[in-house]
Amino acid sequence: MARVKEDIAAISRALIDDARNGVFKPVYILMGDEPYYPDLVCQAIIDNCVDEFGKDFNETICYGADVTAEQVVTAARRFPMMADRQLVVVKEAQMMKTLEDIAVYCNEPLDSTVLVLLLHKATVDKRKALYKSVQKIGVVLDSPALRDYEVPAWISSYYRERGLQIDPEAASLLAESVGTDLSTIALETDKLLKNLPEGSKSVSVADIEKNVGISRQFSIFELTKELSYKHASKALTIAAHLGNAARFAMPQAVSALYMHFYRILKYGALLARGGAPTPDEKASALAGVNPYFYKEYDTAVRNYPLPKAMAVISLLCEYDYLGKGGDGGAATPGELMVELTAKILNC
């Protein structure tokens, strides 16, 4: 995972451990484009802040669309009943029209209240008082979305945390199937683990194909591989199958191909400098690529030297436009996909 994503994961784990140990800050802002970690931390606070017997009296969970800042502040300023603390959680806090007004409370929060503001795929304005005041006295967790190329590494790390080793190809296939939504990846993983034989320590491509419902044989991941090796027949077969699939979307396919050939271009430029690249230089040029796949890129740069790689990227820009309805052509997405693949192979 990219460093920032590792930091978010580590910070989240620390906050969850604190909650389990009964250690809380007076105010939390849990936000970001990726809701997985904010949701995990929020749930850990709800599970551990108030005991089951006191939840009726000392736990308030509401939604931003239903409350005002004044109501939230009033709830936060109440004292707990027969307990050391109370919990006030505002879910979907980005829906509050007066969210920023909660800054007034954050200037003098009660020690006996834990206030959680959970935003879904949104952030507060970091220039304003609410963010600045909570930074001083509480916790701000800002969880950025992962980019497509970062997801396989995140999946590998996620599986390691569960004592499992996932094949790099299986991680890439799962990422292609599920996308960048970490909650969906976690859900698919839970389903997968229930179907694995007891005591399994590794996850293969076959496991992903069987339990997640995607075939490596006809995937973008496999198409990029066949294009790298210039296996024309296989690449065209995959392109035709992909293009005619019910869920096929040309822009997403072009985006995946663009990232692949952009890496080939960067790697080719590195090699064109002469001399053997250092491991760090190679890792930088092939950012997001598991070293398991380096051999493929060594072949790809020979098949697509710099002028050809640039020609492919130019083609991808053109077909991105066409795939979004540009020029009003009559070609179907499936026809465009096969046409694009044939042109890439002829570069």
Contact in structure between 27 and 131 (CB atoms under 8 Å): no
Quick one: DSSP state of residue 276?
P
Q: How confident is the model at residue 213 (pLDDT cuts 50, 70, 90)?
A: low
In this prediction, residue 249 carries a pLDDT of 84
In this prediction, residue 120 carries a pLDDT of 95
Q: How confident is the model at residue 4 (pLDDT cuts 50, 70, 90)?
A: very low
In this prediction, residue 3 carries a pLDDT of 43
Q: Per-residue pLDDT averaged across 203-226, rounded?
A: 81
Would you kindly state where each structural domain of the chain is located, as residue ranges? Answer: 3-142, 148-214, 218-345
CATH number of 148-214: 1.10.8.60
Residue 145 DSSP SS3: coil
Alpha-carbon 303 to chain mean position: 32
In this prediction, residue 287 carries a pLDDT of 85
* CA 301/CA 314 separation, integer angstroms: 17
Q: Per-residue pLDDT averaged across 228-246, rounded?
A: 89
pLDDT value at 5 more than 60: no
Report the CATH fold assignment for 218-345: Zinc Finger, Delta Prime; domain 3 (1.20.272)
* CA 185/CA 213 separation, integer angstroms: 13
What is the residue type of 71?
Q
Q: How confident is the model at residue 2 (pLDDT cuts 50, 70, 90)?
A: very low
Which residue's entry shows tokens 């980005």?
A: 94
Give the range among 62-71, 207-216, 274-283 with minimum mean pLDDT.
Answer: 207-216
Nearest to 92 by CA among 117, 128, 124, 125: 117
Buried b (16+ CB within 10 A) or exposed e, 258-287: bbbbbbbbbbbebbeeeeebeeeebeebbe
Q: Per-residue pLDDT averaged across 43-58, rounded?
A: 94
| The three-state (H, E, C) secondary structure of 317-332, written as one string | HHHHHHHCCHHHCCCC
Residues facing 122 on adjacent strands:
32
Contact in structure between 248 and 333 (CB atoms under 8 Å): yes
More confident residue, 47 or 212: 47
Note whether 148-214 and 218-345 share their fold: no
Relative to beta strand 139-142, strand 113-118 is unpaired
Structure tokens at 319: 């077909």
Edge-to-edge strand list for the sheet holding 86-91:
59-63, 86-91, 113-118, 27-31, 139-142
Nearest to 322 by CA among 332, 312, 310: 332
Helices within the chain (DSSP H only): 3-20, 36-49, 55-58, 69-76, 103-106, 129-137, 151-161, 168-178, 182-195, 205-212, 220-228, 232-243, 250-272, 279-285, 294-303, 306-323, 333-345
Q: How confident is the model at residue 215 (pLDDT cuts 50, 70, 90)?
A: low
Domain 3-142 has CATH 3.40.50.300: yes
Per-residue pLDDT of 78-133, as tens digits, reads 999 988 999 999 999 999 989 999 999 999 999 999 999 999 999 999 999 999 99
Relative to beta strand 113-118, strand 86-91 is parallel
In percent, the amount of the chain with pLDDT more than 90 equals 60
Structure tokens at 5: 């994503």
Nearest to 91 by CA among 65, 114, 71: 65
